[in-house]
Structure 1
């Protein structure tokens, strides 16, 4: 059973079945809760029972009041409390990983964490410096348990939205298979899917330096700028364009945007979004394009809208959908 927002709300209200209660409490006691939580989870819904477990576990004695000097911006109170947990975890990991050093041992190996999302899954992750990363489906994020030294470096593939904690003394660097992204503190969307030849960055706020791993030059991207590194033409190249950033980041708020896409392009998005297989059994559809916008959509809702606009029907066989 998956621990979802709805299950957490029922736990808070005392309406869980014994099995649901056991699963929630296992999740609260697991390592996963240290860095992640269900998509769209509201910490207020966890309530006193669940949050007390987390607070007691990490010896957080402060009440739910905002931490002095910290701006909430558009985040819920959760971000402050979760950031506190991340800080405590980071400190604990630091002392744990360096305990042999304190006994005289040298050259400790840096501990890393790796977070992966499956098809149909989204996840929020708080990094040791307070940076928040929203991972889209089929993404992998690898980062050190503590950012030591003069850089904050991590490795990524897939698609994610990053809200980077500001630290001018320690640049934040993301390595993908083909590119490097360097920032000091900003908000941006990074798309580096292993199934696509292009890697793209769209900046919502701040400034990003975007470059290929070899010597193709670099782009300086600011708000509402999109940079693309493409290798489809053989020789790698960089290009930039003015865009509306919100369009590229809507997915993290569970808004599905299909903007003038071919049926093949839409299929790839829907297969990742819903963890299904879509077979196109009507060749005329390959020449059609579709535009649509959905908030918290069911697959049935999307299929019926596309079918009406593009004049196709579909049948379902388990997790396979056949368009005809």
Structure 2
């Protein structure tokens, strides 16, 4: 597994719970190890997730464990799981990191004397731990220089090939076609963080709206027979029509080839699928050798590592409304809704029980409103409550 890949936090929480309950498979143990190995901060996150799971009742009591008992319990669990798999491929420090994490949890409980339940009856100010998303991004020029795209940035940037990049009053970028023959392609990259969005116009006139936690790599001037860009995350494209130079978006194993059209492409690293939603025109999709043509009003979804597309008619507004500043849901799971909210408001959600993730909702909310508005709407529509613990929003129900 690529250590640079992003992991779904919900999946990691499930793995930690299974690990503690000694029901984790050998394959999942490897995934957990890769996650721990991918960042020095993950040991602390491991401890925090154990805290959350314990408080929600998903993990039995830990506050009586001392360091030696924690070590023995985790070591025994690992030994059992490796024997079942008949393979010993774990790194020796994994049980140590887990044991330290458990001890950290014990200390946390003793220090703060937290209760075993969340207080869902309290009135919380969710705006205190969230920020409403705004137009912001980081531009990386061809030589590696990075520039923060905000209102303080100079209005004109010059690339090494003479291309002028203009920033207008709405803090959007426009690349001017300099009409020069290019000996080599010069690329820029825009990274939009959590809690951000950004828009730009490429040198060929193609308009791109980028959603939170997304990255786009593109040439400052297109050359050759195709116009190719690379996307991670989500973006809405209005591709300038040019039959002799197809526009190609690469997203992991998938390619989207168009001549001139409007569509939304969602290809987040922490999702196991890529979704293309066509508004107008036509696109040719390809994944691992398989090709499909998509018609307006349809969406194609392909799972990571697979070649078959699931194609179905959809209301395209549900997948493009974010461009106009609206969250729109129709029979969406609460888990999917919280994923979108977490990226826009830069906050993490934690579900106390799996069943809450599958609750379905239909509705809409303005993205420029504080998150409290959307959470209150969800609470009124279902028997669900939200609470705050540290910097996370907890999803559950009151026991009263």
TM-score, normalising length: structure 1 = 0.67
**Within 2, Cα distance between the matches of 1:243 and 1:154?**
26
Partner-residue secondary structure (3-state), 1:170 = coil
2:163 paired with 1:91: no
**Within 2, Cα distance between the matches of 1:256 and 1:122?**
14
Q: Which has the higher contact order (CA 8 A, sep 6+)?
A: 2
> How far did 1:288 drift?
2.3
2:388 paired with 1:257: no
The match for 1:156 is: 231
The match for 2:381 is: 309
The match for 2:218 is: 143
2:345 paired with 1:274: yes
Deviation string 1:151-191 (CA, Å, 9 cap, x unpaired) is 11111111111000111111111111010111111111111
Could you say if the C-alpha distance between residues 260 and 114 of structure 1 is closer, same or farther in structure 2, counting changes exceeding 3 Å?
A: same
**Within 1, Cα distance between the matches of 2:376 and 2:292?**
41
> How far did 1:318 drift?
6.2
Partner-residue secondary structure (3-state), 1:91 = coil
Partner-residue secondary structure (3-state), 1:269 = helix
2:372 paired with 1:285: no
Partner-residue secondary structure (3-state), 1:34 = strand
2:148 paired with 1:27: no
**Within 2, Cα distance between the matches of 1:221 and 1:295?**
30
**Within 1, Cα distance between the matches of 2:251 and 2:372?**
34
**Within 2, Cα distance between the matches of 1:129 and 1:202?**
22
Could you say if the C-alpha distance between residues 169 and 120 of structure 1 is closer, same or farther in structure 2, counting changes exceeding 3 Å?
A: same
> How far did 1:222 drift?
2.0
> How far did 1:319 drift?
4.2
Q: Please say if residues 226 and 245 of structure 2, whose CA atoms lie closer than 8 Å, have aligned partners that are also in contact.
A: yes
> How far did 1:290 drift?
2.0
2:332 paired with 1:245: no
Equivalent residue pairs, number: 244
| Stretch deviating more after TM superposition (161-170 or 291-300) | 291-300
Out of 219, 225, 240, the position equivalent to 2:292 is 219
> How far did 1:286 drift?
3.6
The match for 2:74 is: none
Could you say if the C-alpha distance between residues 124 and 315 of structure 1 is closer, same or farther in structure 2, counting changes exceeding 3 Å?
A: same
The match for 2:261 is: 186
Deviation string 1:255-307 (CA, Å, 9 cap, x unpaired) is 10132222222221111121111122355524422222112332000011112
The match for 1:205 is: 280
Gaps of 5+ in 2: 1-131, 136-149, 159-163
Could you say if the C-alpha distance between residues 110 and 227 of structure 1 is closer, same or farther in structure 2, counting changes exceeding 3 Å?
A: same
> How far did 1:193 drift?
1.1
| Stretch deviating more after TM superposition (309-318 or 180-189) | 309-318
TM-score, normalising length: structure 2 = 0.55
**Within 1, Cα distance between the matches of 2:295 and 2:280?**
7
CA RMSD, aligned part only? 2.9
Written as runs of structure 1 = structure 2, the 5 A alignment for 1:50-69 is: none
Q: Please say if residues 211 and 229 of structure 1, whose CA atoms lie closer than 8 Å, have aligned partners that are also in contact.
A: no
**Within 2, Cα distance between the matches of 1:303 and 1:318?**
18
Q: Please say if residues 35 and 125 of structure 1, whose CA atoms lie closer than 8 Å, have aligned partners that are also in contact.
A: no
Q: Please say if residues 171 and 184 of structure 1, whose CA atoms lie closer than 8 Å, have aligned partners that are also in contact.
A: yes
**Within 1, Cα distance between the matches of 2:337 and 2:389?**
20
Written as runs of structure 1 = structure 2, the 5 A alignment for 1:109-124 is: 109-124=184-199
**Within 1, Cα distance between the matches of 2:240 and 2:354?**
48
**Within 2, Cα distance between the matches of 1:169 and 1:140?**
27
Q: Please say if residues 335 and 358 of structure 2, whose CA atoms lie closer than 8 Å, have aligned partners that are also in contact.
A: no
Structure index of larger Rg: 2
Partner-residue secondary structure (3-state), 1:271 = helix
